[in-house]
Amino acid sequence: MIADVRQFLETLFLAVAAILPIVNPLAGAPVFLVKTSDLTPEERRTVAMRVARYGYALLLASAFVGAYVLDFFGVSIPVVQVAGGLVVSALGWTQLWEDDMTAQTARDAAGVRSRAFYPLTMPLTVGPGSISVAITLGANPSGSARALVMTFAGHAVGLAIVALTIYIVYSKADVVLAKLGRTGALILTRMSAFILLCVGVQIVWNGVRALLKTL
C-alpha cells in the first residue's frame, strides 16, 4: 500500500514538474488577454474554464494513447514538433501583422467556443512541446496492473493540477487588462506575437535537430 502511494505521488509530481513549465500559463496570459479583450469578465472566466478543460483533455489523451496513435500512423515525436512548431510560428506571424480591427473575433456562443479551442488552447496553451512531453510520460508503461493503475491515476491528477493552474491564471487576467488600456493591449499583442513566433521557430528547430540525428 505504501509503495502504491509513493508511486502515485512520484508520478503526480513528475507530471506537474514536466508539463507545467512548458505550458507556462503566465507566458500565455498576455495572448489570452488580447484574444479575449472584447469579452466581459464573466465571459472571459468562461473561456478560461474551457481552455483549462480542453487543455486537460488534450494532455490526458496524449499521455494515455498518444504514443499508440503516433505509432499506428508511423509518426515520430520530432515530426510532431516540426509540424506543431510551424503552426505556432504561423499563428505568431499572423498576430504580428494583423491590424487592430482584425484582432476582434466573433462574440457569439459558437465563436467564443471556437476561440477557446483554437488558438487559445491549441497551440497557445497546450502546444507541440507539452503534447510531446505528455506522450513521453505515458509511453511504454511497465509493471503490474496495480502499478499501471497508480501511474495512470498519478498522471490524471497531475495534469488536473496543471489545468487548474491554467484556469486560475487566465481567469484573473482581466485584472491586468483593466490596467493596460487599449494602447497597452496593442503593444502587448505585438510583443507576445513576436515571442510566439520565436517559440514556434525554436520548436521547429528542436524537431529538425532530432530528425537530423537519426540520419
Q: Which residues contact 106 (CB under 8 A, 6 or more apart)?
A: 112, 114, 115
Predicted pLDDT of residue 212: 94
pTM value is 0.78
Contact predicate 162/16, CB 8 Å: yes
Torsion of the alpha carbons at 179, 185, 187 and 191, rounded to the nearest 10: 100
Cell of 20: 507545467
Single-letter amino acid code for the residue at 211: L
Single-letter amino acid code for the residue at 141: P
Predicted pLDDT of residue 141: 61
DSSP 125: I
- Give the C-alpha separation, 133 to 111, whole Å: 30
Q: Which residues contact 55 (CB under 8 A, 6 or more apart)?
A: 23, 121, 122, 125, 126, 162, 163, 166
Predicted pLDDT of residue 100: 52
Predicted pLDDT of residue 101: 42
Predicted pLDDT of residue 123: 84
Predicted pLDDT of residue 107: 56
Q: What is the CA angle 201-169-113, rounded to 5?
A: 75
Predicted pLDDT of residue 208: 93
Ordered per-residue pLDDT tens for the chain, 215 residues: 788 889 899 999 989 998 998 898 887 887 888 788 788 889 899 999 999 999 999 999 999 998 888 888 898 888 888 888 888 788 788 877 766 544 445 555 566 777 899 889 998 899 888 898 898 888 766 567 788 889 899 999 999 999 999 999 999 887 776 676 667 767 777 787 787 788 889 889 988 998 999 88
- Give the C-alpha separation, 156 to 158, whole Å: 6
